Amino acid sequence: MSRDRVVVVTGASSGIGEAVAQKLLADGMTVIAVQRSAPRESHPRLVFYPADLSDMAATREAGRRIAERHAVDSLVNNAGANCPALLMDATIDELRYVTDITLGAALLLTQALVPGMKERGFGRIVNISSRAVLGKSARSVYASAKAGLLGLTRTVAIETGAHGITVNAVLPGPVATTHFNRGHPFGSVQRQTVVENILVGRVGEPGDVAHAVGFLLDERSGFITGQSLFVCGGTSITGTGGQ
């Protein structure tokens, strides 16, 4: 890289966010992790800002402090929440909670960090959405919030492109996170059913998503903006699976 890169990653204490942080650290970037729990591993270039991303005031304050103290050029809005429920069981409280973490925190951190990116004439923003936006049973709340990220992605891309900032979304399919493995144990019928509907014949790994995020954050990806990249093993084609 031709510059010292500083990237904010939300929800970097586990799963996809942790894999993204590890990849970016390996690539020589400084990573600022924002979430409630501290990262499980330490690193000289890993900075932790504790914040409850379901609390909009706390999130706004974290964004302000980070923008004041760090020359952030990139943002990965990975943090999210899921309250699985069939349509008639979904609640407004669940919708508010999931939307605040998934979409509200992304909006506030983007607002906090874009001015600095504009000043430097360079920025990369990647929003982690989900293949579930195409439809998945018991995901009306989750899919709605993740779909909102796609609208945010396109709109911010339009408003910031002239300043050297790109904004894209990554939409993972079934990925072997702790949460996924708990609901789909190795050797179980549930897991096998999912695998049978994945064109590449396996569940994804967090590193698969991290690789796609790294590509979009790269300085050489400056002609890609406002796009949605499915990292789903082909489930966006088959119409099954999804996070």
Q: What is the DSSP letter of 151?
A: H
CA angle centred on 95, ends 94 and 101, rounded to 5°: 90
Q: What is the DSSP letter of 12?
A: T
Take residue 109 and report the two structure tokens written for it: 């951190």
199 contact partners, CB below 8 Å, separation of at least 6: 233, 234, 235, 237, 238
Number of residues that this document lists for the chain: 243
Please report how the helices 140-160 and 105-120 are oriented relative to each other, as an axis angle in degrees rounded to 10: 20
How distant is the alpha carbon of residue 91 from its chain centre? 24
Q: How many helices (H) and strands (E) does the chain have?
A: 9, 7
Residue 97 annotated among the catalytic residues of the structure: no
DSSP assignments along 166-235, one per residue: EEEEEEE-SB--HHHHHHS-TT-HHHHHHHHT-TTSS-B-HHHHHHHHHHHHSGGGTT--S-EEEESTTH
- Sheet with strand 46-50: strands edge to edge: 46-50, 30-35, 6-10, 74-77, 123-128, 165-172, 228-231
Tell me which of 127, 142, 203, 235 is the catalytic residue: 142
Residues with a known catalytic role? 142
